[in-house]
């Protein structure tokens, strides 16, 4: 429990989000372009972090499907900014030792002749520390 409390506090601190502001309208998830790909949707990130039920989020592929498109941030009527929570939960994982989701060894298989540098730089920023 105390470990979970620390985890929750750490996530709230790095995200700057106050999940208590959420009124559970679901608009963030309704507008999320990654809805089908995410097993936990933006409104669930908000509710689960608030409850301290964070373990399932840490292990979810949802962390790597968020596009940081900020649609959920822009359209939330309560300025909760769910994308910042998704980011903070992902950072809890990849900031640990040896938890990078993407490494240089993965890159050759992903290259094609047209892929822009921007895609690789961005993916490393998102998926590795």
Q: Which is nearer to other proteins, 1 or 20 (CB)?
A: 20
| Interacting residues with ligand SF4 between 97 and 126 (CB under 6 A) | none
Is 11 one of the binding residues for ligand SF4 (CB under 6 A)? no
Quick one: which of 26, 53, 99, 122 contacts ligand SF4 (CB under 6 A)?
26
The item of ligand SF4, other proteins, none sharing an interface with residue 120, based on CB under 5 to 8 Å by kind, is: other proteins
Is 77 one of the binding residues for other proteins (CB under 8 A)? no
Q: Is 18 exposed, middle or buried (0-12, 13-18, 19+ CB in 10 A)?
A: middle
The item of other proteins, ligand SF4, none sharing an interface with residue 43, based on CB under 5 to 8 Å by kind, is: ligand SF4
Kindly write out the interface string for residues 47-76 of this chain, putting x where it contacts ligand SF4 by CB under 6 A and - elsewhere.
-------------------xxxxxxx---x
Q: Give the integer Cα–Cα distance in Å for 3 and 51.
A: 13
> Rounded to the nearest 10 degrees, what angle do helices 42-51 and 82-94 cross at?
70
Is 86 one of the binding residues for ligand SF4 (CB under 6 A)? yes
Q: According to the 3-state scheme, what is the secondary structure of 37-106?
A: HCCCCHHHHHHHHHHCCCHHHHCCHHHHCCCCCCHHHHHCCCCCCHHHHHHHHHHHHHCCCCCCCCCHHH
Q: Give the integer Cα–Cα distance in Å for 127 and 75.
A: 25
Provide the binding-site residues for ligand SF4, judged by CB under 6 A. Answer: 22-28, 32-34, 42-43, 46, 66-72, 76-78, 80, 82-83, 86
């Amino acid at each position: 429990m105390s470990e979970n409390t620390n985890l929750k506090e750490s996530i709230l601190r790095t995200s700057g989000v106050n999940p208590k502001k959420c009124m559970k309208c679901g608009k963030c998830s309704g507008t999320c372009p990654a809805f089908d790909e995410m097993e936990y949707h933006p409104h669930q990130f908000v509710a689960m972090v608030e409850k301290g039920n964070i373990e399932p989020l840490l292990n979810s592929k949802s962390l790597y499907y968020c596009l940081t498109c900020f649609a959920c941030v822009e359209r939330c009527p309560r300025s909760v900014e769910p994308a910042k929570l998704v980011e903070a939960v992902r950072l809890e994982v990849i900031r640990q030792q040896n938890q990078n989701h993407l490494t240089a060894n993965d890159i050759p298989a992903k290259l094609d002749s047209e892929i822009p540098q921007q895609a690789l730089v961005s993916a490393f920023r998102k998926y590795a520390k």
